[in-house]
Structure 1
Amino acid sequence: MITLIVLLAVVLLLAATVYAVLALDPVFGAQAYRDRGHRLHKSPQFKDGKFRYPLPTSMVTSAADYLSMLRDFAKRRPNARPAPGRLPVVKLDTAAIGRPGPLRVTWFGHSASLLEIGGCTILLDPMLGRAPSPFPRFGGKRYADTMSFEIEALPPIDAVIFSHDHYDHLDYGTIRRLHAKVGRFFVPLGVGAHLRRWGVDESRIEEHDWHETFEWEGLRLSCLPARHFSGRGLAGRDATLWCAWAIEGGGQKVFFSGDSGYGPHFAEIGERFGPFDLTLMECGQYDPRWAAIHMSPEETVQAHIDVKGGTLLPIHWGAFTLAMHDWNDPIRRASAEAARKGVRIISPRIGETVEIGFEMSGASADAAAAVEWWR
């Protein structure tokens, strides 16, 4: 009897500790859905307390799937990460950010990117932290030991755009260091609550639902559907929206897919908003067990075709190992599929700036695309 009481006390203590961490540690953000007056409750995408993609979208469904995942993650995989010191990182010239010119894109690994379009500077999903985890010391370490730049060296950034609230896209430490430099944050419904808890002023946050188009600083931005899920911590699964974005300015258009499984929304976006000069399309962290929420590289190329893209920049790879494939499998397969389908694909080094449709750094974008550094 005494043993049972002690065991129960230990369980209750552990439960109380977990609850306290989730409630008090700011890294987990805040839960907007608990505010009954928040506009997310009126969203057509928000049903029965959760956001939903129109088609059934699942990750893993059986105990066997979970067991096989644990087994696979435990295996030694020699090509899961690049060899130490072998990942090329280009030093970003932060003083040149924002100079007049054509559409430019700089990729920082995974989905973090810098767009210079229509005279504006925009960071996309700027996860610049050490690991995609609420506790970075215990998460999968970033491949590169150093970043292309220090956040403190950045000039003022016009806007930050987020696709959803997962740790590999929305990073607490990054926001704490970055937010004072940013004029505006554009986020899907519910994600603003995280930013407000982390010190971002309400006046600089705009939350949007799918199919909303708006004008800002000479740009036209559209929050668009994606096939994924959301959530931080143990509570609030799918309680914030996830999305893609279309960004138009200076006579050019960009599509940023965020995280998404393949679906009919890509063709619908192409019909309504295409063609796009550049697509930043999710390509990495895929597996047959969660094929509905992350595309294979071949689907990445097809999604680019569906949205009527011109130049394809595969993202969501090159920084972290979050799936079982080799670290460079996404770009190898996407490049091969792009060659088969006649798609123009670029794979700049981390931190390398590419001018889309124009000459860059004394060499054409086509020549830069041919440098397969990832092999």
Structure 2
Amino acid sequence: MSKTTHIANAAAPVMAPLHRDGRYRNHVPMHRLGFLKTLRLIWVSLFGKPTNTRPAGEIPVLALSRQQLLAAPNNSVFRLGHSTVLLKLRNQFFLTDPVFAKRASPVQWAGPQRFHQPPISLEDLPSIKAVILSHNHYDHLDHMAIKALIGKTEHFLAPIGVGDTLIEWGVPAAKVRQLDWWQSTEIDGMRFVATPSQHFSGRSLRDGNQTLWASWVMIDNDQKIFFSGDSGYFNGFKQIGDRYGPFDLTLMETGAYNVDWPDVHMQPEETLQAHIDLRGRWLLPIHNGTFDLAMHAWHEPFDRILALAWEKNIAISTPQMGQPFYLDYPTRGHAWWLGVEGVVESYIDDAEQPQGSRHQA
């Protein structure tokens, strides 16, 4: 039983999580690799990864200061790395899946290492109204970051079970709100809904799927934002879109995919379809550009999703780390990753050509 109950029931759920024998399960049975494939994957991950899974050059990062963030206009969105996104809404700050550690790993001497420094340190962040967590994997839930954020964060929103981990780490129970799928909570008039995703959880060999995973819907009057967390492609995106869409912005997982992981991560084609299912207006790809978590080239997710979006005439933005995206005046940003590999000397940049307000997109 969850230790916190500061939640409100939404309408009758379309898709409820499956919970049996103390563990959560997806509605679609997980794809099993088998012993030999698993052994080969571990071997390649440790000793045989292609060199292009890490950038050849330096990832460009726009440094941010607390003063800049406080002076930034309302409805600003800043990518800080991987799935860590800082949103300024109603002149308050909301932070998704904060990971500031050098490695997405249970130890800091081994495991996937960051490609770049965060645009701003934990210490320099302004006060955070709410931290929004999708699940408990190391590239989404950073113990060091949570400890550092306790004193400057008013609320922590988490799927069921993840909040109990926060409390064990020292977050006061009164700050933690744990939600089941389709449950919602309000913070100063903004509504947050925990919505389904297709993934898994665990931080050790013994706690697999004992806590829930989720995506999130954020509603600020007529403005709506979707944060995917991690997910394979499934019909839940269509259900969320039918219930809460259209969305002004979707922050969508696009990276760390593999043909052998179809149930828990999306190929870029599936990311685009999920955005369409959600009835999204602008797509901002996340879960890329920070950690080496798969066998594909580090820049491949950007290349593929950008080409697909242009082919389908989907409004997409690819800001570099620290670069603001303005919900009221969205722009495409530029293909900054091309310069990292020395492909081009100058970037394709239409940042000075606004694509219209969020109501026109």
SS of structure 2 residue aligned to 1:305: helix
RMSD between superposed Cα atoms in Å = 1.9
Indicate how the Cα distance of structure 1 residues 218 and 83 shifts in structure 2: closer, same or farther if over 3 A, else same. Answer: same
Give yes or no for contact 1:104–1:355 (8 Å, CA) kept in 2: yes
TM normalised by structure 1 equals: 0.83
Indicate how the Cα distance of structure 1 residues 76 and 207 shifts in structure 2: closer, same or farther if over 3 A, else same. Answer: closer
TM normalised by structure 2 equals: 0.86
SS of structure 2 residue aligned to 1:121: strand
Indicate how the Cα distance of structure 1 residues 213 and 78 shifts in structure 2: closer, same or farther if over 3 A, else same. Answer: same
State the Cα distance separating 1:98 from its structure 2 match: 4.7
State the Cα distance separating 1:253 from its structure 2 match: 0.7
Larger radius of gyration: 1
Note the alpha carbon deviations across 1:207-226, whole angstroms, 9 max, x for none. 00001122221101110000
Give yes or no for contact 1:118–1:251 (8 Å, CA) kept in 2: no
| Aligned counterpart, 2:78 | 106
Indicate how the Cα distance of structure 1 residues 253 and 331 shifts in structure 2: closer, same or farther if over 3 A, else same. Answer: same
Are 1:306 and 2:277 matched, yes or no? yes
| Aligned counterpart, 1:65 | 37
| Aligned counterpart, 1:286 | 257
Task: Indicate which of 161, 164, 175 corresponds to 1:204.
Answer: 175
State the Cα distance separating 1:118 from its structure 2 match: 3.1
1:305 and 1:220 map into 2 onto residues whose CA distance is: 23
Indicate how the Cα distance of structure 1 residues 277 and 132 shifts in structure 2: closer, same or farther if over 3 A, else same. Answer: same
1:373 and 1:286 map into 2 onto residues whose CA distance is: 21
Are 1:49 and 2:31 matched, yes or no? no
1:279 and 1:61 map into 2 onto residues whose CA distance is: 31
Matches within 5 A, 1:300-339: 300-339=271-310
Note the alpha carbon deviations across 1:234-267, whole angstroms, 9 max, x for none. 2111000000000011531100000000000001
The amino acid that maps onto 1:279 is T
State the Cα distance separating 1:103 from its structure 2 match: 1.7
| Aligned counterpart, 2:89 | 117
State the Cα distance separating 1:140 from its structure 2 match: 1.8
State the Cα distance separating 1:99 from its structure 2 match: 4.8
1:45 and 1:104 map into 2 onto residues whose CA distance is: 36
2:132 and 2:251 map into 1 onto residues whose CA distance is: 13
1:301 and 1:67 map into 2 onto residues whose CA distance is: 32
| Aligned counterpart, 1:374 | 337
Note the alpha carbon deviations across 1:252-301, whole angstroms, 9 max, x for none. 11000000000000011000000000000001100011111000011111
Matches within 5 A, 1:1-375: 45-58=18-31, 60-73=32-45, 74-84=47-57, 86-99=58-71, 101-144=73-116, 146-358=117-329, 365-366=330-331, 369-375=332-338
| Aligned counterpart, 1:361 | none
Over the matched positions of the two proteins, sequence identity in percent amounts to 39
Note the alpha carbon deviations across 1:298-352, whole angstroms, 9 max, x for none. 1111100100001101000110001000001011100011111111111111111
1:149 and 1:119 map into 2 onto residues whose CA distance is: 18
Segments of 5+ residues of structure 2 without an aligned counterpart are: 8-15, 339-361
Stretches (4+) displaced over 4 A: none
State the Cα distance separating 1:108 from its structure 2 match: 1.3
2:191 and 2:36 map into 1 onto residues whose CA distance is: 46
The amino acid that maps onto 2:65 is D
Give yes or no for contact 1:57–1:227 (8 Å, CA) kept in 2: no
1:98 and 1:190 map into 2 onto residues whose CA distance is: 33
Indicate how the Cα distance of structure 1 residues 91 and 61 shifts in structure 2: closer, same or farther if over 3 A, else same. Answer: same
1:137 and 1:314 map into 2 onto residues whose CA distance is: 29
| Aligned counterpart, 1:9 | none
Give yes or no for contact 1:118–1:250 (8 Å, CA) kept in 2: no
1:213 and 1:340 map into 2 onto residues whose CA distance is: 36
The amino acid that maps onto 1:61 is L
2:59 and 2:17 map into 1 onto residues whose CA distance is: 43
More helix by share: 1
State the Cα distance separating 1:47 from its structure 2 match: 1.7
1:65 and 1:96 map into 2 onto residues whose CA distance is: 48
Indicate how the Cα distance of structure 1 residues 252 and 99 shifts in structure 2: closer, same or farther if over 3 A, else same. Answer: farther
Indicate how the Cα distance of structure 1 residues 272 and 99 shifts in structure 2: closer, same or farther if over 3 A, else same. Answer: farther
Note the alpha carbon deviations across 1:109-164, whole angstroms, 9 max, x for none. 210010112333100001111100010111221001x3211111112110100000
1:119 and 1:217 map into 2 onto residues whose CA distance is: 11
1:76 and 1:278 map into 2 onto residues whose CA distance is: 34
The amino acid that maps onto 2:55 is P
2:17 and 2:194 map into 1 onto residues whose CA distance is: 14
Give yes or no for contact 1:260–1:295 (8 Å, CA) kept in 2: yes
2:222 and 2:127 map into 1 onto residues whose CA distance is: 23
Q: How many residues align?
A: 327
SS of structure 2 residue aligned to 1:97: helix
